[in-house]
Amino acid sequence: MAEAGETVESLAEKVDVHPKSAARWLAAGRIPHPRTRVAVAEVLRRDAADLWPEPFRRRDLPWFRPWAELEQDATSIRSYQPLLVPGLLQTEGYARAVLGTGGLVAPAEVDQIVTSRIERQSVLAADHPPQLVAVIDEVVLRRPVGDGSVMAGQLAHLAAVADWEHVQVRVIPADSPWHTGLAGPFVLGRLPDGTELAYLDNQLRGQVVTDPIDVASLGRRWESVTGEAFPQRRSIELIREVAKTWT
C-alpha cells in the first residue's frame, strides 16, 4: 500500500469496501473475498498471489488462479466454447489429451493442471452449486481428442452431467451459419452480490474481465450464441447420438 501511495481509506474507496474491512487485511490470516482480491491487486499493481499467497497455493497456472477463486463463489456460470468441452465438464482422460497434445506442456505440469481441473469440478457437487449453462459447437463432439475411448467417455459424461438439475449443455448444430461466438470462447460468472464478471482465454493466457461495459458486450454475445443452439433435450439427444460413433 505504501509503495502504491495508498492508505487504508483510499484503498477502501477504490475497491468499494468499508475502511474497517480494508484495515483487517493488514492482519495475518485476514483474506478478502476473491472478487475484492482481484480489485485490490489491480489498484496496488501487484499479483494477488503475492499479496495473499495462501489461497493460491494450488496447481492452477498463475494467471488462471484469480478466475478459479471467483468460480468457486459464483452463483451462475455461463460458458461458450467453440472448440473444446468446458473445463468444468471435462473428464480426466479428455483433459490429459488436450494438454498433452503437441508437447507444449511438460508432463509434470500436465499432471498438476489436470488434477487442479478435476478438483475445480467439485463446485458442481457442492450443497449449493452454481447454475451452469454451457454452449458448445457440434464440432466439439466430433473432433477427436485422444482416441475413441477418450471421446466416448467424455461424451457419456457430458450427457450424464447435462441431466443434473443445475446444469445445461446446449449444442450449436454444425450447419448453423457463422455467428459472433466464433470470434472466441468466453465465460460469464455472477457472484452472490449480483456482480457479473467474465473470463477470456487465448493462446498464451487468460484474463478476468471486470469492466461493466466489456461484461455487458459479452452478455450480448451470449444471447447471440444461445439463440443458435438446440434446446437442452435435443442437445442431449445429439450428444448421445455422436457418442455412439466413438465406440
Lay out the sheet containing 167-172: strands in order across: 167-172, 131-137, 76-81, 186-190, 196-201, 206-209
Other Cβ atoms within 10 Å of 145 Cβ, number: 19
Per-residue confidence band for 50, with pLDDT thresholds at 50, 70 and 90: confident
Statement: residue 59 has pLDDT above 50: no
Statement: residue 79 has pLDDT above 90: yes
Q: What is the pLDDT of residue 25?
A: 81
DSSP structural state of residue 79 = E
Statement: residue 22 has pLDDT above 60: yes
Q: What is the pTM of this model?
A: 0.74
Q: Which of 150-159, 190-199, 201-210 has the lowest mean pLDDT?
A: 201-210
Q: What is the pLDDT of residue 89?
A: 97
Task: Please count the CA atoms within 13 angstroms of the CA of 85 that sit on its side-chain side.
Answer: 32
Instruction: Say if CB 194 and CB 160 are below 8 A apart.
Output: no
- Specify the residue for cell string 460469464: 188
Percent of residues, the chain, with pLDDT higher than 90: 56
Instruction: Say if CB 108 and CB 163 are below 8 A apart.
Output: no
Instruction: Say if CB 73 and CB 67 are below 8 A apart.
Output: no
Secondary element (H or E) of residue 100: helix 92-100
- Specify the residue for cell string 459464483: 74
3-class DSSP assignment, residue 32: coil
| pLDDT mean over 75-99 | 95
Q: What is the pLDDT of residue 220?
A: 95
Q: What is the pLDDT of residue 232?
A: 96
3-class DSSP assignment, residue 85: coil
Could you give the CA distance from residue 46 to residue 240 in angstroms, rounded to a whole number? 47
Q: Which of 19-33, 139-153, 166-180 has the lowest mean pLDDT?
A: 19-33
Instruction: Say if CB 219 and CB 59 are below 8 A apart.
Output: no
Instruction: Say if CB 218 and CB 238 are below 8 A apart.
Output: no
| pLDDT mean over 55-83 | 79
Burial of 179 (0-12, 13-18, 19+ CB in 10 A): middle
Q: What is the pLDDT of residue 61?
A: 60
Q: Which of 4-18, 23-37, 48-62, 115-129 has the lowest mean pLDDT?
A: 48-62
Statement: residue 26 has pLDDT above 50: yes
Question: Nearest 5°: phi and psi at 86?
Answer: -55, 145
From the centroid of its chain, how far is CA 171? Answer: 18
> Which carries the bigger pLDDT value, residue 190 or residue 201?
190
Per-residue confidence band for 29, with pLDDT thresholds at 50, 70 and 90: low
Instruction: Say if CB 181 and CB 171 are below 8 A apart.
Output: no
| DSSP-assigned letters across all residues of 217-231 | HHHHHHHHHHHHSPP
pLDDT 10s digits, 214-226: 999 999 999 999 9
Instruction: Say if CB 77 and CB 133 are below 8 A apart.
Output: yes
pLDDT 10s digits, 155-182: 999 999 999 999 999 999 999 988 888 8
> Which carries the bigger pLDDT value, residue 62 or residue 153?
153
